[in-house]
Structure 1
Amino acid sequence: MLLSIESSCDDSSLALTDIASAKLVFHHKISQDSAHSVYGGVVPEIASRLHTKGLPEILAILKGELGDFTRLKAVAITTEPGLSVSLIEGLMMAKLLALSLRIPLIAINHLIGHFYSLFINQCEAIFPMSVLLVSGGHTQIMQARSEEEFLIIAQSLDDSFGESFDKVAKMLSLGYPGGPIIESYASKLSPTTRIHSLPLPLKDKHGFSFSGLKNATRLLIESLSSHDPSKVDSRLKVDSSLNESDKALVCASFQKAAIAHISNQVEKYLKHKNNDGIRDFAIVGGASSNASLRAEIERLCTRFGLRLHLAPLEFCADNAAMIGRAAIPEWQKGIFADSIAQEVSPRSTTNYLHTL
């Protein structure tokens, strides 16, 4: 079996995957949402400290179930991209296990891991495939051409899709993570309620950008706010004087514009790349759990005659199960990292993950 570790941001996670069948044998994750919620976003130093506590706790649970680690054949670890202070905690554990058990270390790119979240418990992955990755740190359209080649077609110029939800939630003092909260508030709005029209970013250009939309949402909040000084949170610098109805209105307006931006860019990609013969399209990443986004991309896939693939909701956010699944092709090809090297990276990105 293969042990995998994920600590790229604020989730401590370990998984155990059977190499031959790709079946997930064990998976456990400790979320840090409550610790970061008061700040309206992830605080790297806090995330790092909590990983030092959470990762050994999960390892102890795993050892209790296994009895020993004699069946382990390799340790897979997320090494990029992510918060450096969080990544290092998982890497140190992975190195220690690999060296002490005398088994190989496999370095995995986090973004490739999200692609393989589609194929947890499945032996065969589908290639080629177009992939929309939407998370707290990334917004990208990729082509998964083979196990050896992932091509980035378009990506965000500033904020990511998920990050923009977090920041709007912070403006409204709604808590963290912002994605599910914004979605919940937006769903409270009556279908007959007229929402505000926010600008569509990069309407005639390729790529993603959410900074302008975020600012437009801030201006909308200010226009609806009473600006009562007693309602201003001095730590977060946001005005929380909006009533629940106005908050729902802001959330619905923002979410509709953000998804319209994603849809517009995906549609342009499908029109341009439709002759490549790629008939499969997927949405992955933590923000891919948004029901409205899924419905919009499903509409586009139906229009263009594509098969839509969705990761199970429990594996949309960062998790070690997807890292373990991504490590199986590396194990099969004997692509291992140096356990004693100071810096550990996935295989050369020259033809593995590159930008068009």
Structure 2
Amino acid sequence: MRVLGIETSCDETGVALYDTERGLLADALYSQVAMHARHGGVVPELASRDHVQRLLPLVQQVLDEAGCTVAEIDGIAYTAGPGLAGALLVGASAARALAFGWGIPALAVHHMEGHLLAPLLEDEPPAFPFVALLVSGGHTLLLEAQALGDYRILGESLDDAAGEAFDKAAKMMGLGYPGGPRISALAEQGDPQRFTFPRPMTDRPGLDFSFSGLKTYCLNTIAECGGRDGLSEQDRADIARAFEEAVVETLVIKCRRAMQQTGHRTLVMAGGVSANRRLRARLTEALGQATRKQQPVQVCYPRQELCTDNGAMIAFAGALRLAAGEHQQGLEIAVRARWPLTELAPV
């Protein structure tokens, strides 16, 4: 089965073609980061307009790269939520129209399920059941995945997601957008001993997250150093290092607790923040060593290019569900800006 995947949930236009026997055949992505950086963050109307401009040429590019004709496509999967409503409607409308014109089924895919399944595209994919850390600009949550669509939320952010906190901290320091990569790069030159930021909600039981207090602590530290305009490059580097260390250690502590509570030996990490090299290294170090009571945990994550939003994860998630017999009735085009992952039907 060959499935075309379309992703337009926010600021990346992604298209890919996945074959259930041959794997990923072609993958194309256009990022709007440069456009939104001029405004300090994503502008929804601009995002939607750009998706309209980029989507169909990317579809043709993917078909050409794969050497595939329309007649060889068996289905189309598209992101129906969560995300920006206008951006989602661009992809959903195009997918449903193409599917109708080509006489093939279309299937709405949950954006976060796409991220969750992205590590399964690797050469040595993890097997269900496992614990997953989904960490991105819009979401931070821990869940237990028993099977495709069978998910139980273990903990989630009570306010900002980790990626959102990175963006806001970067803006406080005048680093621009997107914040995560900029803070990570600057943190490499930072002194880890100069500042120590709090590890929020780690001094109490539970698996929920909160990063709003960490942002406030960061803002106060910037003020103590003379404010944003008074920061030296070393000040910025030291603050970036302390901020990144705090976020990473908080995520590691929560993941360790989740593994202990569930007893699973596989942790899957996905989403934009999963590209953070310090987070990958710390998780592997903290969970990959055996103790007297437990065997080491296998930490799995997708390749760098599949961490951010992309069409490959949508094509793959859609292919799994279409192959299991799931299909979409009628011609209604509907998207959900908010869509709890636990509402998905198990397959």
- Shared fold (TM-score greater than 0.5)? yes
Q: Return the offset for 1:94.
A: 0.3
Q: Return the offset for 1:180.
A: 1.0
Q: Does 1:271 align with 2:272?
A: no
C-alpha distance in 2 between matches for 1:165 and 1:124: 29
3-state SS in 1 of match to 2:231: coil
Q: Deviations over 1:109-138 (max 9, x none)?
A: 111111211122669761001111111111
3-state SS in 2 of match to 1:51: helix
Relative to structure 1, is the Cα distance of residues 264 and 102 closer, same or farther in structure 2, using a 3 angstrom cutoff?
Answer: same
Q: Return the offset for 1:268.
A: 2.2
Query: Counterpart in 2 of 1:337?
Result: 328
3-state SS in 1 of match to 2:320: helix
Would you say how many aligned residue pairs link Structure 1 and Structure 2?
335
- State the AA in 2 paired with 1:133: L
C-alpha distance in 2 between matches for 1:351 and 1:58: 29
Q: Is the 8 A contact 2:126 2:300 kept in 1?
A: no
Query: Counterpart in 2 of 1:107?
Result: 108
C-alpha distance in 1 between matches for 2:89 and 2:344: 25
After TM superposition, the structure 1 = structure 2 runs for residues 65-104 of structure 1, keeping only pairs within 5 Å, are: 65=65, 66=67, 68-104=69-105
- State the AA in 1 paired with 2:312: A
Query: Counterpart in 2 of 1:235?
Result: none
Q: Return the offset for 1:38.
A: 2.1
Q: Is the 8 A contact 2:17 2:315 kept in 1?
A: yes
The runs of 4+ residues in structure 1 deviating greater than 6 Å are 345-348
Q: Return the offset for 1:260.
A: 1.8
After TM superposition, the structure 1 stretch with the greater mean CA deviation from structure 2, 158-167 or 120-129, is: 120-129
Q: Is the 8 A contact 2:132 2:269 kept in 1?
A: yes
After TM superposition, the structure 1 = structure 2 runs for residues 22-41 of structure 1, keeping only pairs within 5 Å, are: 23-41=23-41
Q: Deviations over 1:156-214 (max 9, x none)?
A: 01101111111111111112111111000000125xx5231222211214200111101
After TM superposition, the structure 1 stretch with the greater mean CA deviation from structure 2, 5-14 or 50-59, is: 50-59
Query: Counterpart in 1 of 2:232?
Result: 243
Query: Counterpart in 2 of 1:231?
Result: none
Q: Deviations over 1:7-65 (max 9, x none)?
A: 111000100011333x1111000000101112222111111111111112212323444
Query: Counterpart in 2 of 1:261?
Result: 250
Relative to structure 1, is the Cα distance of residues 263 and 172 closer, same or farther in structure 2, using a 3 angstrom cutoff?
Answer: same
C-alpha distance in 2 between matches for 1:34 and 1:205: 41
Q: Return the offset for 1:241.
A: 3.2
RMSD: 2.1
Q: Return the offset for 1:291.
A: 1.0
Query: Counterpart in 2 of 1:168?
Result: 169
Q: Return the offset for 1:281.
A: 1.0
Q: Return the offset for 1:290.
A: 0.7
After TM superposition, the structure 1 stretch with the greater mean CA deviation from structure 2, 260-269 or 58-67, is: 58-67
Q: Return the offset for 1:309.
A: 1.0
Q: Please, what TM-score do these two structures have when normalized by structure 1? A: 0.88
3-state SS in 2 of match to 1:175: coil
Q: Deviations over 1:87-126 (max 9, x none)?
A: 1111011011111001001111111111211122669761
C-alpha distance in 2 between matches for 1:347 and 1:267: 24
Q: Deviations over 1:255-297 (max 9, x none)?
A: 11111211222222222222xxx22111111100111111111
Structure 1 stretches of 5 or more lacking a match?
Answer: 228-238
